[in-house]
Chains A and B, each alone.
Chain A
Amino acid sequence: MIEACKQAAAEVPHYCYHPKLTSPGNCRMCLVEMGMPPRPAPGEQPDLDEDGRAKINWMPRPVIACANTVAEGMGIRTQSLLAKECRQGVMEFLLINHPLDCPICDQAGECTLQEYSVEHGNGESRFLEGKVKKPKNVEIGPRIRLDDERCVLCSRCVRFSKEVVDDDVLGFVDRGSHSVLTVHPDRKLKNNYSLNTVDICPVGALTSNDFRFKMRVWFMRETKSVCNGCARGCNILIGSRENKIYRQTPRENNKVNSAWMCDSGRMEYHKLEHPGRLTDPMIKRGRKHHTVDWTDAVCRAARDLTKFKGEQFAIIASGRMTNEELYLTRTLSESLEAGIVDIVTRIGTGDDYLAHSDKNPNVNGVRKILRLRSPGSKLKTIRAKVAKGEIKALLVLGENLLT
């Protein structure tokens, strides 16, 4: 029912429902009114109202939209008084023990509790009691922090860990209002997909160590991109501000990565901050490298490269290059009649899910555009020829062969 409502542009608010996970129906936020038209007696026509729709017998008890399927003729009311009262009730219940953490909570700005408070909440509190206290800032894994008071016990993280990555290490301990999300001390949340739980957590209970306290989400611009950590090519969103990247999150693509990405891919952007990165063109004079401007650098490269041709010249390109860059590489190699063209291969460990063992993102491009049938197979030859002096010039693109 909840998907049908979304298609009908009558979105129903929810916490625990997630289209990629099973529906436990525990948050009760998606309660709507439901009804069926009464079955007409045999031979009779159904009762119609002024709009020509079948009259509906509305059920007095609201139902959850996330775990009920639609049926022919069913009526759903998402904006009735009862539906609104249900939501207001659930919002009030969620807020009574919720800490006033918005000023220090990373989720601010992308928090469904905040959003729904505005849309569906009461505005005033009538809770006069003491709140239930729970542990804060708990390290449940090397990359994740947990603030239990913020947790609304939707169980999305528990279901994700069990159903999607088969690492059932999250659970609820204690009972009732004192229930607390936690891990067993011997089995923490360490798997390479743990940070997806941070994405799907509707509140700021689970936060990423890498992003915690770094940047407010409303300052960040989100750029659509593709992860370059491996050959999978998970679709991502890069969150940045003034050209500094603060985080990467997955972007849904049902043909590639569903709604997920791996933790190591997520951390790829840190490579951009590596102090060893070349940020300016440099030319070696004597023993040292000196920064030059682009014109000088390109002209110098062109001048030096055109001294050699054919068998004296080889190109080592990269499986990290974009298709456009590979195309230009091919053009260059054709015009200089490069003797050998190859790339540096990177084979690591893959897993059964998204992490591909090929850690180069674009070997497919290399095969098609540079027309290499066996990428990486000629590197030994290149090294041997360089040692023998047969190759006098080596153009290396996008790789560092010295480390």
Chain B
Amino acid sequence: MAEPRYITGKKPHAREKRMIFRNVDRAGWNPSIEKYIKDGGYKTLKKSLKLKPGEVTDEVKASGLRGRGGAGFPTGVKWGFIPPNNTKPIYLICNADESEPGTFKDRYIIHQDPHQLIEGILISSYAVGAKIAYIYIREEFPEGAIILENAIEEARKAGLLGKGIAGTGFECEIYVHRGAGAYICGEETGLIESLEGKRPYPRIKPPYFPAALGLYMCPTIVNNVESLCHVKHVMEMGGKQYGQLGTPRNTGTRILCVSGDVQKPGYFEIEVGKLTMGELIEDLCGGMKKGRKLKAVIPGGSSAKVLRAGETYTIRDGDQEKNIGLNDIPMDFDTLAACGSMAGSGGVIVMDDSRDMAWVLNNINTFYAHESCGQCTPCREGSLWMKKITDRMLAGGGVPSDVETLVSVGDNIAGRTICAFGEACSWPTQSFVGKFPEEFKKHTKRRNVGKALNPEAKVASASLMDKD
């Protein structure tokens, strides 16, 4: 395998370790199977087919690989949830519905390196016993769907898909299934319902854990695009070797996507936990915009709780506790969780001191209110309510009780819904209002009702003004 060269201006940063993104922005590269095989592609698939499926799962377990879609659940453990005496067909679903605001990594794998994904899907299907895999790709990647379908045909022609893969008894079909613009289809049971042709209402768990009762009520494994690519690398270098990358319990590499008020937003593949937030922002992204200071960071997609610049966090360091600042947080799963947020999907959104936190929260609330599927009461009613409150606050109609109401509504949603969307839509409100109370309080002094993005909010504000 040759050392890759990269397109001018898109060279990876020195702190990166390109593994999944090895071929992204690569000079002289294209998504064809010829390029991929010439670069050593599909060797790992052939190697894996020589093992027993259970042995592949064991390697993945040993690697400590955690899901890269947002939840960070150990992939090997998830695979092990399939009931041992199962007689129903098993399905593997690749979650290519990348919709978490702030996240832009699966896009590049799909568009530029589809065969890595296909190889990862095939290895994973072999391990879990799936004969059919679906790639659920978001509708807004129309080119990506075509690229994947072409890649699947190329793989078929090369005897790497269908019956008798690589001359073995393993058979597997991969189909591309396009979504239609719903964030909730990124939730694994919502995705399954959507694949079944129904409204994507997530299922209650228990009893509908996908590994037991998934697609068509058969055992189903849903994995993120990036996670499936990692499986290929785990099998290539061996689980134990993979586990040496990154940090204990937070192994491997992951792709961080940085956007917002930094000089050089973009994607960076780093070893999990070996880079701090400060290094990410200052070294890799060139720091804040000129004349601006860091105000807040959302570290793992808009569902993650916001971190305020200047905060310190008490975390465990072995047997002791220590205090670290925002800039010292290593970008891994466990520390970010210990700091009261999460690594999530790796979407890092940076905000400087020019940003009004109420405006930021309103934008996030608008997203969640729009994307709520509407199945269960707290999220359906609460997400729109929180948006209406911040709409009204921004339109000049805020009242002092709004701050408390916002947090209370968030508290009545989190932990009480069918799926994690409840937490996703309430954590931003809870954390922004909790950490930036003064920003919200300043919107509760009623002033003239100005230009509102939402005419309804204008009416609501005006009616409250009259009550004065």
So, do A and B actually touch in the complex, CB under 8 Å? yes
- Which residues of A are interface residues toward B (Cβ below 8 A)? 23-29, 31, 60-62, 64, 67-68, 85-86, 89-90, 92-94, 96-97, 126-130, 132, 152-153, 172, 174-179
Partner of B380, one of A31, A61, A176: A176
B369 to chain A, nearest CB (A): 7
A177 touches B377 (CB 8 A): no
Interface residues of B (CB under 8 A from A): 182, 199, 201, 204, 206-207, 369-378, 380-385, 388-389, 392, 399, 401, 405, 411-413, 415-418, 456-457, 459-460, 464
Q: Enumerate 29 A-B pairs (CB-CB under 8 Å) in ascending A order.
A: A23-B204, A24-B375, A25-B204, A25-B376, A26-B377, A26-B418, A28-B418, A29-B377, A31-B416, A61-B415, A62-B416, A67-B204, A67-B207, A86-B412, A90-B377, A90-B378, A92-B412, A93-B412, A94-B381, A96-B381, A97-B381, A128-B399, A128-B460, A128-B464, A129-B456, A130-B460, A175-B182, A177-B369, A177-B372
Q: Inside 8 A of B376's CB, which chain A residues have their CB?
A: 25-28
Enumerate chain A residues within 8 angstroms of B457, measured Cβ to Cβ: 129
B206: which A residues are within 8 A, CB to CB?
A: 67-68
Q: Which residues from chain A contact B383 at a C-beta distance below 8 Å?
A: 176-177
Given contacts A153-B375, A153-B377, 8 further A-B contacts (CB under 8 A): A26-B201, A27-B376, A61-B415, A62-B416, A64-B204, A67-B206, A92-B412, A179-B380
Min CB distance B61 to A, Å, is 25
CA distance A172 to B372 in the complex (A): 14
Docked CA distance A132–B206 (Å): 32
The 9 closest A-B CB pairs, nearest first, are A89-B412, A93-B381, A179-B374, A129-B388, A176-B372, A177-B384, A25-B204, A176-B374, A26-B376
Q: With the chains together, A128 CA to B389 CA distance in Å? A: 8
CB of A95 to closest CB in B, whole Å = 9
CA distance A96 to B415 in the complex (A): 20
Contact of A129 (CB < 8 Å), options: B199, B373, B385, B416: B385
Asked if residues B374 and A175 are in contact (CB atoms below 8 Å), the reply is: yes
A132: B residues at CB distance < 8 A = 384
Q: Least Cβ distance of B468 to chain A in Å?
A: 13
Given contacts A129-B389, A129-B460, contact A152 B377 (CB under 8 A): yes
A128 to B461, CA, bound (A): 9
CB <8 Å contact, A153 and B374 = yes
A86–B384 touching, CB < 8 Å: no
Would A27 and B374 be within 8 Å (CB), given that A67-B204, A67-B207 are in contact?
Answer: no
List of A residues within 8 angstroms of B460 by Cβ: 128-130
Main secondary structure of the interface of B (DSSP, over half): helix
Contact A172 B377 (CB under 8 A): no
For A93, the chain B residues whose CB sits under 8 A away are 377-378, 380-382, 385, 412
Measured between alpha carbons, how far is A26 from B418 in the docked complex, in Å?
Answer: 7
For B182, what are the chain A residues with a Cβ–Cβ distance below 8 Å?
175
Most buried by B among A23, A92, A153, A177: A177
Q: What's the nearest-Cβ distance from chain A to residue B2, in Å?
A: 49
CA distance A175 to B384 in the complex (A): 11
- Bound together, the chains give a CA A24 to CA B415 distance in angstroms of 17
CA distance A359 to B339 in the complex (A): 72
Q: With the chains together, A28 CA to B381 CA distance in Å?
A: 12
Contacts of B374 in A (CB 8 A): 153, 172, 174-179
Q: How far is the CB of A55 from chain B (nearest CB, A)?
A: 23
Residue from the list B370, B388, B392, B418 in contact with A176, Cβ < 8 A? B370
Residues of A within 8 A of B207 (CB): 67
Least CB distance, B420 to chain A, in whole angstroms: 12
CA distance A174 to B385 in the complex (A): 18
Whether A27 touches B377, Cβ cut-off 8 Å, given contacts A61-B415, A89-B412, is: yes
Return the chain A residue nearest B207 by Cβ: A67
Chain A residue, CB-CB nearest to B412: A89
Given the complex, which residues of B lie within 8 Å of A177, measured CB to CB?
Answer: 369, 372, 374, 380-381, 383-384
Give Cα A60 to B414, complex, Å: 12
Across-interface contacts of A97 in B (CB, < 8 A): 381
Contact of A89 among B378, B380, B405, B456 (CB under 8 A): B378
The chain A residue with its CB closest to the CB of B391 is A129
Q: Decide if A62 touches B415 in the complex (CB within 8 Å).
A: yes
Beyond A28-B416, A28-B417, A89-B416, whether A176 also contacts B377 by CB under 8 A is no
Query: Across the two chains, which residue of chain B brings its CB closest to A91?
Result: B377
Name the residue in B380, B412, B459 with the highest tally of chain A Cβ atoms < 10 Å from its Cβ.
Answer: B380
**Alpha-carbon distance A86/B415, docked complex (angstroms):** 10
Cβ–Cβ contact A175 & B372, under 8 A: yes
B residues near A67, Cβ cutoff 8 Å: 204, 206-207
| CB–CB B204/A130 < 8 A | no
> In the bound complex, do residue A130 and residue B388 qualify as a contact, i.e. CB atoms below 8 Å apart?
yes
Indicate if the CB atoms of A28 and B373 lie closer than 8 Å.
no
* Cα–Cα distance between A153 and B373 once the two chains are bound (Å): 12
Distance from B423 Cβ to chain A, minimum over Cβ atoms (Å) = 11
Would B392 and A28 count as touching, CB distance under 8 A? no
Residues of A within 8 A of B399 (CB): 128
Do the beta carbons of B405 and A28 come within 8 Å of each other?
no
Of all chain B residues, the one with the shortest Cβ separation from A64 is B204
